[in-house]
Amino acid sequence: MNKIYSFGIGVGSKNSQGEWLEVLFPSPQFKPDPEISGVLRAVLGHETADIELNNGQVIALESALRTSGDTLIADSLRMLSASDQPLVAVLLISDDAPVSVPQAYLKLQLLSHRLVKPHQTNIDGIFATLKNIAWTSAGPIDIAELPGRIVEAKLRGQSLTVNCIDKFPKMVDYVVPSGVRIADASRVRLGAYLGAGTTVMHEGFVNFNAGTEGPNMVEGRISAGVFCAAGSDIGGGASIMGTLSGGGQMVISLGKQCLLGANAGLGIPLGDRCTIEAGLYVTAGSVVTLIDKNNNETQAVKARELAHKNDLLFRRNSVSGRVECLTNKSAVELNDELH
């Protein structure tokens, strides 16, 4: 069987010890057709691996790809081989957790290229796999080597600016999805999935393995593991709790045409056309009083019991202070001019 899960040829950077820091994959492949998979297996082997390519392997791989008719990958390989930066080929036979930096970067770029959605690829243990890196005006630098590089820059009369220290870089330094607006690029991490029509405003944030179906307005925080369906609006300062935060088993998501008001919070998966009023944080353990269509109290439940249900409005009673939930039939509509 020739099928493989994913493949990419990337160019990256290493530290002084020869360890990979990061890798850019211009044209990652997800489940390529069996003929191409057979070519890749013949040249690179039959096991999941990341292989630093030498000149002979580059020539052999490019020739095999052109013979098979895959000029896109072959052209990408030729372009990358013109650089003096190290090249790596990553072959993932199956959807196993990444065990190296190149494998981890390939999976993150599958997400940001919209080839897979959040939770559709295995990234277990990715934090332990990635290195903490100084992302600077001179490119990525190993933390242990940063002090020396700063001194070297000063001695040359240059300035080395450190933009951030993190395991995840900005998405747009690797992938720029079509049809999106991002007001502050530093607030969208590599591994985010942004569907066409998504707008991320200056205070919006999208973590890795999280994102939007599009179109969506994001003025608040989408934490790791959270996916927001089309037409939903995350208001200024609003926050969606990270999936599996605190060791729980609930996968948090936002349905279609939902609204999180300014400074609101969400800790359960919402269905479609739901609203949480401004300033109200609904967690799985929040006690919610249900209100019927006649504005009568019916019962009190934990918010987790309302997970995935549609057409709900969550509000805080300004007199009693209790959290209430009633049927909400008016779905939010996004402003087309903003997307």
Active site residues: 219
For the record, the structure tokens of 278 come out as: 């401004």
d(CA 239, CA 258): 14
What's the sign of the alpha-carbon dihedral 132, 58, 171, 99?
negative
Q: Is 159 exposed, middle or buried (0-12, 13-18, 19+ CB in 10 A)?
A: exposed
- Which residues sit opposite 52 in a β-bridge? 88
Q: Report yes or no: 96 and 49 within 8 Å, Cβ to Cβ.
A: no
For the record, the structure tokens of 188 come out as: 């969208």
Amino acid letter at 309? K
Q: Report yes or no: 259 and 232 within 8 Å, Cβ to Cβ.
A: yes
